[in-house]
Structure 1
Amino acid sequence: EQPLRVAGFDIYPTVSIGAVSTEGGPDAADAAELLRRVELAVEQAKTAGRGGAAAYGRALETDSLSRLAMEADLRNAFVRGEIEPFYQPIVNLITGAVAGFEALARWRHPKRGLVPPDEFLGLADEMGLMNDLGLLMMTQSARQLAEWLHRHPGAGKLFCSVNLSVGEIERANLVEDVARIIAESNLPKGALKLEVTEGDIMRDTAHAAEVLTRLREAGASLALDDFGTGFSSLSYLARLPFDTLKIDRYFVLTMDKDEGSAKIVKSVVNLGRDLSLEVVAEGVENAHLARLLLDANCHYGQGFGYAPALPAQEAEVYLNESLADGTAPIKARSA
């Protein structure tokens, strides 16, 4: 770990070590088996962080088999229809009524029950399944939104947001798929909202601008997600065809304690209004934050103070209650 001088720079190498003993039984004396076991050990050392060490044990076999089983289950989950969108309400801060939903992927495992997204989204990315997941989420969410609009004409301009995964904006057939989904669902223009991160845009701004323009022409509306957390460029924002800015939940959660966060939130809201963009604040956990956002003239709020992501049937109940009395049943408004 001593520094090495390379091309005028100090390089600080680290080493991850996996160890195995030959005293693990007759099969442990075989060279190929020893290599297999020590590879498991070194992978375990790497997952613990840089510069770690780990010794082989039977638990590593269990972990390895569990991952293989998880991968097989996840591939089959798409075929068996176990992946589905849950819907988190997005609420008009002025009226208190539900304005739309964000669709978030959930996995109903036949044995494990509801698998948290942080346990399978990373694996789906590693397995190259994110484009399949994105197409599934858009298709199911568009159909569900179309059903709600048909059954509840009073819902007006109800929308549903779907996240584009990292790199999905570069997928060859994305625009064609979005146009087909909107046409098949007979959705109003702008009802399907696609959320894109700054990182995706900055990889190739010219290409992103072209794709975003075509997506909007296909009938989708567009939201810039987690605004302020990346290398924001106002020139990009002025040139790209976004309809909505989403403020990252970190700034919202800390705006009542941190003056800097409060100023950032107000600045983003003002910027959005000046550019005729709607602004959605994530992370609304209580009535106090909802009040601060309303005072800042923010358009919409989203967070656990209103509701978590809900299965389709529960989300429709939530929508019904909002339509019945003109406001959503929101904890944040009465807490």
Structure 2
Amino acid sequence: SGASGSERLREALEQPLRLAGFDIYPTLSIGAVTAEGGPDAPDAAELLRRVELAVEQAKQAGRGGAAAYGRALETDSLSRLALEADLRNAFVRGEIEPFFQPIVNLGTGAVAGFEALARWRHPRRGLVPPDEFLTLADEMGLMNELGLLMMTEASRQLAEWLHRHPSAGRLFCSVNLSVGEIERAHLVEDVARIIKEAGLPRGALKLEVTEGDIMRDTARAAEVLKALREAGASLALDDFGTGFSSLSYLAKLPFDTLKIDRYFVLTMDKDEGSAKIVKSVVN
């Protein structure tokens, strides 16, 4: 019982296991609940539900964590369930919308384009922080749906601006592809349809891809990227410099833009190494 019981259990179950000639060191996440007596005592099913909440809390604290059931867990759980339900309905109610961050040509000072950033305008909570709802959308498997929505809305808005302001020139709008979205079936067909329906010129819709997505299967990524270019999109490699950053695969992939990771840009006026890297990439 109590902490001593948890520690004894941990010591017993975290002993190394010998499998196929390798030592495996398991870790244990522990959730605990007190079985109360009396006429209002919870039954076995309720105890199991409570201890599952405690285990989830322990897992959030990291590998090998421990947590005890308390009323606060009920509040957190209900709050999360409510937020999940609201997020599912947000797509239907049109609460997810793009905010447009301008991209400026430093040489001329003119606006060259925009980056579309997803925002959730919750009817009661106002603007939900992106880090909060994007993580939730990822866990709920809604990122592909979010990506499709952002591409559609960003293309529609850009087409409207180009029509209203023809003197603005060749504006573009960037949309981030979520992790793994490049491998989604029908991505190329969806992009071609969105560009055609919006009436955008070639290259006006720019899709941003991370290095991690490219490196999982470079050959497959090259095929998809080429098809996206043929469908009328332009392409950007995001956070360049944080991953493998191999020039060998850059020569094979049809990117129009490299987005240098912000670490190098923020430190290039103080750190000679960062300055050299930024200059080399630009060259």
The alignment's TM-score, normalised by the length of structure 1, stands at: 0.77
- Distance of 1:251 and 1:84 partners within structure 2: 30
- SS of equivalent to 1:179: helix
Any idea what the Cα deviations from partners look like across 1:220-279, whole Å, max 9, x if unmatched? 10001111111222121001111000011122122233333222222221xxxxxxxxxx
In the alignment, does 2:169 pair up with 1:133?
no
Write out the 4+ residue segments of structure 1 that deviate beyond 3 Å after TM superposition.
1-12, 24-29
Instruction: Please say which of residues 116-125 and 13-22 is displaced more in the overlay.
Output: 13-22
Bigger drift between 84-93 and 12-21 goes to: 12-21
User: Aligned-pair distance for 1:79?
Assistant: 0.1
Q: How many positions carry a matched residue from both structures?
A: 269
Q: 1:40 to 1:28 in 2, by over 3 A?
A: farther
TM-superposed CA distance for 1:2, in Å, is 5.0
**Equivalent residue for 1:246?**
259
Deviation of residue 182 (structure 1)? 0.8
CA distance in 1, matches of 2:219, 2:255: 15
- Give the stretch that moved more between structures: 201-210 or 255-264: 255-264
Change (3 A) 1:254 1:26: farther
1:58 is aligned to 2:71: yes
Task: Report the CA distance shift for 1:268/1:26 in structure 2 as closer, same or farther (over 3 A).
Answer: farther
More RCO (CA 8 Å, sep 6+):
1
CA separation of 1:24 and 1:42: change in aligned 2, threshold 3 A? farther
Deviations 1:84-140 (A, max 9, x none): 000111111111111111001000000000011101111111111111111100000
Deviations 1:38-88 (A, max 9, x none): 110111011011221111001101111111111110010000000000011
Where structure 1 has 5 or more consecutive residues not aligned to the other structure, the ranges are 270-335
Bigger radius of gyration, 1 or 2?
2
Question: Residues 40, 205 of structure 1: CA spacing in aligned structure 2 closer, same or farther, 3 A cutoff?
Answer: same
Cα-Cα RMSD:
1.5
Calculate the TM-score normalised by the size of structure 2.
0.90
Structure 2: state its 5+ residue gaps: 1-13
CA distance 1:6–1:136, change in 2 (3 Å): same
Q: What is the CA–CA distance in structure 1 between the aligned matches of 2:44 and 2:137, rounded to whole Å?
A: 33
Secondary structure, aligned partner of 1:111: coil
User: Aligned partners of 2:237, 2:187: CA distance in 1, in Å?
Assistant: 17
Once residues 111 and 146 of structure 1 are traced to their aligned partners in structure 2, the CA distance between those partners, rounded to angstroms, is 31
Q: Distance in 1 between matches of 2:248 and 2:146?
A: 32
Instruction: Tell me, in whole angstroms, the C-alpha distance in 2 between the residues paired with 1:93 and 1:221.
Output: 21
Alpha-carbon contact 1:179-1:218 (below 8 Å) kept: yes
Measured after TM superposition, the shift of residue 5 of structure 1 is 4.8
Q: Are 2:214 and 1:201 aligned?
A: yes
Deviations 1:153-180 (A, max 9, x none): 1110111000111111111111111111
